[in-house]
Structure 1
Amino acid sequence: MSAGAALAAVVVPVYNAAAYLPVCIAAIAAQTMPDFRCYLVDDGSTDGSGALCEQAAAGDDRFFVLHQAQCGVSAARTAGVRAARADGVSWVAFCDADDLYHPEFLRTLIGAARSSGLPAACCRYDSFTDAPPADAPVPEEAQRMMAPDHLDALLHDHRVDFSLCNKVYAARILDPADFDNGFAFNEDLMANWQVFNKIEGCAFVDFDGYHYRQHAASASHRPLAPASIDEQRRAAIYIRQHAAPEMQESADAFYYEKLVYLASMILRREDADRYRIQLGELCVGIRAGLEDKRLGRNPRLPLSIRVSAFATVHCTVLWAAVCRRLLKDRR
């Protein structure tokens, strides 16, 4: 680390987040580990977010602003990673502009990574709509997830999840190309898949260190673009094709579960006919895999997914009604 460099960097991609950005910045500023730089990457905002970023930097010398034409969240994160590496930080974390950190987020995860001797650490996240949840006590112990268990956890353990935002990474393991990966959907998953494949393991601290805000404009509540179905399937295919032998069974199960999940996302919608091409392709894959020991009969596959797969192709109308009634629509 160069002389005068901060220990850590927080990269925040910002696009039209003016309604939530001030409290996000305040939560980062309130970290109990103050030795960080925060890079606010304004991705062509038109709602005054850029001015809020400048205001934050003027009031706290730990905050820096990068302005760029709108290129998307992956490009914004890439710009932040490049700046952090150029400034010689040792650790990098990410936060979305409408979300909140637990005040112990940086201290706890960086401490867990250091004490475990591993180049990454993660925690759970919770979600909220209006008032954020109360900050939970922080455990003293961290779990070491060694390869290939950390990759298996990335694909199947919802405590670890696909997100970049509930993790910290040693700056030395990050390549900007890992983030600018050509995916507009599941870009977090693909970035983590590339990074996790390069490291020997990840520390896990079992507390809700990241508060994920759900609102009408957030990515998970925007209308479901047909292209997102194709991209999520493409990500699962890539992982299956590039999994190491010791991860193949896990990757096969992940791929098949993704097919079933994507079909359920379509079937739960009132406008499911809009996605008939994607649903048809998914059902072909699901049907073909029902008796396949690598897919529908994969020992890693949960019973609920096996039942859902059968219902998707053999009881489609009834299963669609169940999905609409029991599953939350993505709007």
Structure 2
Amino acid sequence: MVKVSIVIPVYNRKNFLTVCIKSLLAQSFEDFEICLVDDGSTDGTGLLCDELAEKDTRIRVLHVQNGGAAYARQKGVELATGEWVVFVDSDDTMPADALQRLFQATSEDTDIVVGFCRKKRLWGVNRLSPACYRKLLIKGRYNISATCGKLFRRTLFDEYTLRTPREIVMGEDMLMNLRLAFASSKPVRLVGGNSVYNYIQHGGNITHVFKLTADYEYVFHKERLSSIPEEEHARYMPVMIYRRLRMLRRILRCAQKDNTVEELRTSAFVKELLADIHATRYTFWRYPHWRLWQFLASAGK
């Protein structure tokens, strides 16, 4: 059994995949396998996956019918044999020392190792309590809610971990991270220093084409609630309100441009947010944005 399984969901990334794999095969840490899951590609990516596997025995390929990124990751975890799992997107890369630095942080007293991918990081902190980590996941702080750049103990995964509706196309990584976070009661280790992951920006990134809406956030919040044990809802509701207020601020800006503010006022997303604010006695000072609270006050009349 290898130490680390690198799971890569692949869909129509023929022009990026070779560079991604090259960066992984150049890792200073060598006890790993690469699990490529071709998610029903139609541009020749599936054939490229097979060609890459023929050149290196550490690469394994699974071809599946298109089911989305979360489904492909689930199939990759099922294919994996490593003690630890790391996810890599097929259009990104990792620095040559990334796996070595991540694996050095593993131990028996942790199930999750977080390596930072961008400039924002928790300076001077090398571990987080489970509750603190879960709150940061929900808030989306320090890029912690991203899927990639982390090691997860493979035994944390079950058939539910990566099961999300097909309509959840943005934020499914947070849902997976939350489920894994609640599956472990051990502290989370953090890897400081340089980045362990390189996001490659291009026009095909979901963040460039996705449009945030109140309807989407309503569905997403329901999935987030179901990812948190019911007995823990009250404990994490304030941070979920904070996150929804941040999302509402963005949605409101778009609604003002599109002249759909009245529809937003009566949306299920806003109604449920208001109900949770009243139930928890959430105050303005926790999220001091005057115009947003003016909008909520008008929606509550």
Equivalent residue for 1:91, pick from 81, 84, 90: 84
Determine whether 1:197 maps to 2:182.
yes
Q: Does 1:13 align with 2:9?
A: yes
1:187-214 CA distance string (max 9 Å, x none): 2111111111121221011242112223
Q: Assess, with a 3 A threshold, how the Cα gap between structure 1 residues 238 and 307 changes in structure 2: closer, same or farther.
A: farther
Q: Which amino acid aligns with 1:179?
A: L
Which one of the candidate residues 130, 151, 158 is aligned to 1:147? 130
Kept after mapping to 2: 8 A contact 1:266/1:279: no
Task: Confirm or deny that 1:220 pairs with 2:220.
Answer: no
**Aligned-residue offset at 1:307:** 3.7
Correspondence for 1:78: 74
TM-score, normalization: structure 1?
A: 0.76
Q: Does 1:117 align with 2:113?
A: no
Task: Give the Å deviation of 1:253.
Answer: 2.3
Q: Corresponding residue for 1:329?
A: none
- Does structure 1 retain, via aligned residues, the 8 Å contact 2:212–2:251? no
Residue 158, structure 1, aligned to residue 146, structure 2 = no
2: CA distance between counterparts of 1:308 and 1:236? 27
| Matched AA of 1:168 | L
Query: Can you list the C-alpha shifts for 1:117-172, whole angstroms capped at 9, x where unaligned?
Result: 31110022139xxxxxxxxxxx9x87122232222232236225222212111112
2: CA distance, partners of 1:266 / 1:36: 42
The Cα of 1:279 is off from its aligned counterpart by 5.7
Q: Is the 8 A contact 2:39 2:65 kept in 1?
A: yes
SS of residue matched to 1:52: helix
Q: Distance in 1 between matches of 2:291 and 2:112?
A: 35
Moved over 6 A (4+): none
Tell me, yes or no, if the aligned pair for 1:15 and 1:44 is still in contact at 8 Å: yes
The answer on 1:229 being equivalent to 2:214 is no
Offset of 1:186 from its aligned partner?
2.4
Alignment of 1:143-292 (within 5 A): 143-156=126-139, 158-182=141-165, 184=168, 185-199=170-184, 200-207=186-193, 208-224=195-211, 226=213, 228-238=216-226, 242=230, 244=232, 248-249=234-235, 251-269=236-254, 272=258, 277=263, 280-281=266-267, 282-288=269-275, 292=278
Partner residue, 2:21: 25
Deviates more, 1:59-68 or 1:224-233: 224-233
C-alpha separation in 2, matches of 1:192 and 1:110: 19
Local SS of the residue matching 1:125: coil
Cα deviation code 1:68-118 (max 9, x no counterpart):
11111111011110011xx3x11111011111212222111121122x731
Residues 1:173 and 1:272: Cα distance change in structure 2 (over 3 Å): same
Partner SS state of residue 32, structure 1 = coil
In the other structure, the counterpart of 1:58 is: 54
Aligned equivalents of 2:262 and 2:210: distance in 1?
A: 16
- Rounded to whole Å, the distance in 2 between the matches of 1:18 and 1:261 is 36
Contact 2:139–2:243 (CA under 8 A) maintained in structure 1: no
Normalization by structure 2: what TM-score? 0.83
**Contact between 2:252 and 2:261, CA under 8 Å: does it hold in 1?**
no
AA paired with 1:53? C
What is the count of residue pairs matched by the alignment?
A: 289
Over the aligned positions, Cα root-mean-square deviation in angstroms equals 3.0
Percent of pairs with identical residues: 22
Supply the distance in 2 between the matched residues of 1:149 and 1:158 (Cα, whole angstroms): 11
Runs of at least 5 residues in structure 1 that lack an aligned partner in the other structure: 128-138, 317-331
> Using the alignment, how far apart are the partners of 2:261 and 2:210 within structure 1?
12
